[in-house]
Amino acid sequence: LVNEAALLAARRGRRLVTMQEFEDAKDKILMGVERKTMAMTIEEKSLTAYHEGGHALVALTVPHTDPVHKATIIPRGRALGMVMQLPERDKLSFSYRQMMSRLAVMMGGRVAEELIFGKDAITSGASSDIEQATRLARAMVTRWGFSDELGTVAYGENQEEVFLGHSVSRTQNVSEATAQTIDKEVRRLVEWGNSEATRILTERRADLEVLAQGLLEFETLSGEEIKTLLEGGSIKRDDAVTRPPAGPSSALPTIGKKSGGTTSTGPEPSPA
């Protein structure tokens, strides 16, 4: 983290590593490298803003989840946008209420797309959200005993192994009837998360509009800025990060004669 922050400070021509460099370095490590050069249409940006706004708004509404740290519609890694939640302390386990809240947060993006653009305009951008929600619900049912129908029993998954690309060996860990019950319970939990996200975003649709427009304007919003927008406030940004620092960009003294006229020096080496 410190090394990445120092590299960012050098690229920006700063003599000291400020808190902004540490913040940007943390985002790069946790969320991936920004792809600002990636071309996105207005429609794609708008859809991404509502998608991420849905995640953030549900996360701010459900009672048992981590605080929202940042929301962005700048592409990072393979994602077109992202909402980051950071825990306030180290966690060793999660409760049933926290997991159910997490399911609602995961489905918030897809629900927001459907509410704003219609069911026919839903994109494949929520594939990762659906996959994570399904994985969490399956673990709740088969590993952590959060199903009254299946009880407090750990269930394995039926697996198929291919040998030399021809024969297939099947490992049967649960019966067909139990596998059907597992699928039914997983679907029940995921659909609950979807319905809870729908209820929240329907009730707070005006807040969703405010948050999406804020993301379209600023592209990245911190948790505090999101709360400010939802409370009816305005955001004022300091452009100190983008403005080049005054004075020499190097910590070394300037070489050359100091006369009344201007002196031309060679180009400074760019940091690696």
Distance (Å, whole) CA 86 – CA 227: 16
Q: Is 149 noted as a catalytic residue in this protein?
A: no
Cα dihedral value 220, 224, 227, 233, nearest 10: -90
The single residue of 23, 43, 44, 52 carrying the catalytic annotation is: 52
- Residue corresponding to tokens 């708008």: 46
- Residue corresponding to tokens 């996360």: 59
Chain center to CA of 151: 33
Per DSSP (E only), the strands in the chain are 68-72, 82-85, 159-163, 167-171, 220-222
Q: Which of 201, 205, 241, 203 is nearest to 220 (CA)?
A: 241
Distance (Å, whole) CA 40 – CA 37: 9
CA distances from 189 to 38, 135, 137, 144, 192 (A): 36, 11, 6, 14, 5
CA distances from 21 to 3, 6, 26, 133, 244 (A): 10, 7, 9, 33, 14
Q: Which residues are designated catalytic? A: 52
